Amino acid sequence: MIQFSPEKINKVNEIIARYPEGKQKGALIPLLHLAQEEFGGWLDAPVMDYVASLLDIKPIEVYEVATFYTMFNMKPVGKYVLEVCQTGPCMLRGSDQIIDHIKNKLGIKAGETTADGLFTLKPAECLGACGYAPMMQLGKFYKENLTIEKVDQLIEELRAAAATAN
């Protein structure tokens, strides 16, 4: 059953209260972020329907928005999504090599997930970190001034973290 915890429901109500009466649809994008975090890193149709019910809007109003924005995943992703910026300024500082290295190391193409379900490679457009390039987004935070060695180390750390979590 898809349902936020009581604690999350409080958060939902707090977010909805930021918008004027009758304009609660404004809370849609923030709620989709909450839902994606809570329900496995992507937005399955029943999850979107649940969000629609919270805002008292039609499911289609949620689908059309969720599919517009790149941060919402419309299919399952790995436990760790490596979002490496590939836009011009990052390219000038070697983002192509970082992306190629990750592809080779993990044996996946852009947009794919490793067989163990740990990593997804998602090339991204400019993330507002151009001065600290090359860089990637990993969950809530950025990893900046990347080198091949740093990427190797990061992947090892994530593997270790996943192994202890299991």
**CA nearest neighbour of 2 among 49, 61, 67:** 49
Query: Exactly one of 128, 164, 165, 166 binds other proteins (CB under 8 A); which one?
Result: 128
Distance separating alpha carbons of residues 27 and 31, to the nearest angstrom: 6
111 binds other proteins, rule: CB under 8 A:
no
92 binds ligand FES, rule: CB under 6 A:
no
Per CB under 8 A, the segment of 5-13, 29-37, 105-113, 156-164 that binds other proteins is 29-37
126 binds ligand FES, rule: CB under 6 A:
yes
**What residues are paired with 17 via a beta bridge?**
none
Place of tokens 């429901």: 9
> Letter for the amino acid at 70?
T
- The binder of 72, among ligand FES, other proteins, none, by C-beta within 5 to 8 A per type, is other proteins
Distance separating alpha carbons of residues 108 and 88, to the nearest angstrom: 23
- The binder of 151, among other proteins, ligand FES, none, by C-beta within 5 to 8 A per type, is none
H-helix or E-strand containing 136? strand 136-138
CA angle (108, 111, 95) in 5-degree steps: 80
Pairing relation of β-strands 80-84 and 119-121? parallel
Query: Exactly one of 1, 68, 164, 165 binds other proteins (CB under 8 A); which one?
Result: 68
Residue 140's SS3 state is coil
- The binder of 20, among other proteins, ligand FES, none, by C-beta within 5 to 8 A per type, is other proteins
129 binds ligand FES, rule: CB under 6 A:
yes
Place of tokens 């910026």: 85
Q: Which is nearer to other proteins, 6 or 128 (CB)?
A: 128
Query: Exactly one of 12, 15, 51, 90 binds ligand FES (CB under 6 A); which one?
Result: 90
Q: Catalog residues that contact other proteins under the rule CB under 8 A.
A: 18, 20, 23, 25-30, 32-33, 55, 57, 61, 64-65, 68-72, 86-89, 91-93, 124-133, 137, 139-141
